[in-house]
Each structure stands twice: as C-alpha cells, then as structure tokens.
C-alpha cells in the first residue's frame, strides 16, 4: 500500500524509508481509530449557546467600490484583471 501511495504521489523511497513510512502511517491510523471512538453528538442549542441573533449587526446596503478606482493601477483589458498565465 505504501508503494502504491508513493507511486501516486510520484515519491521515491528506499526500503528503509518505506518501512519508516509504514510505521508512521500505522501510527496515524491508530490515532484516527482512537478519535473515532470519542462520542460526539451535535446539539444546536448547546453548541451555539453564546450566539444570540439579537446581537448580530444590522445588514446595511452600501455602494460598491468604483470599478475605475479598483482598476486604476492594474493592467486591464475590457474592465478585467489580466494575470500571468500559470497553466499551459
């Protein structure tokens, strides 16, 4: 399994490194098994007890920033940002 995962990740390990990775992954899986044993139940009232809808700020409509101001220092074409090509 380690060799398969290494191949998928295009990683190269020596035999010794493979053994170490197997140990590390076994330890991680053991920790995850321990975490799965914890009894966790979501209670909307208990988990959100410190949030009161009356304390939220009022949603006030405001004008947007002017497009001309946003684009004034950018290289732009047809009111769009032009960024360098990163994917070929």
At 48 the pLDDT is: 66
Whole-model pTM? Answer: 0.41
Q: Is the pLDDT of residue 52 over 80?
A: no
| Residue 50 pLDDT greater than 70, yes or no | no
Residue 17: pLDDT band by 50, 70, 90 thresholds?
very high
HEC assignment per residue over the chain: CHHHHHHHCCCCCCHHHHHHHHHHHHHHHHHHHHHHCCCCCCCHHHHCCCCCHHHCCCCCCCCCCCHHHHHCCCCEECCEECCCCCCC
């Amino acid at each position: 399994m380690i060799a398969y995962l290494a191949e998928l990740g295009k990683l190269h390990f020596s035999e010794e490194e493979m053994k170490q990775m197997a140990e590390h992954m076994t330890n991680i899986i053991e920790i995850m098994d321990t975490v799965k044993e914890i009894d966790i139940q979501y209670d909307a009232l208990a988990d959100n007890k410190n949030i009161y809808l009356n304390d939220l700020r009022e949603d006030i409509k405001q004008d947007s920033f002017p497009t001309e101001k946003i684009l004034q220092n950018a290289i732009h074409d047809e009111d769009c940002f032009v960024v360098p090509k990163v994917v070929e």
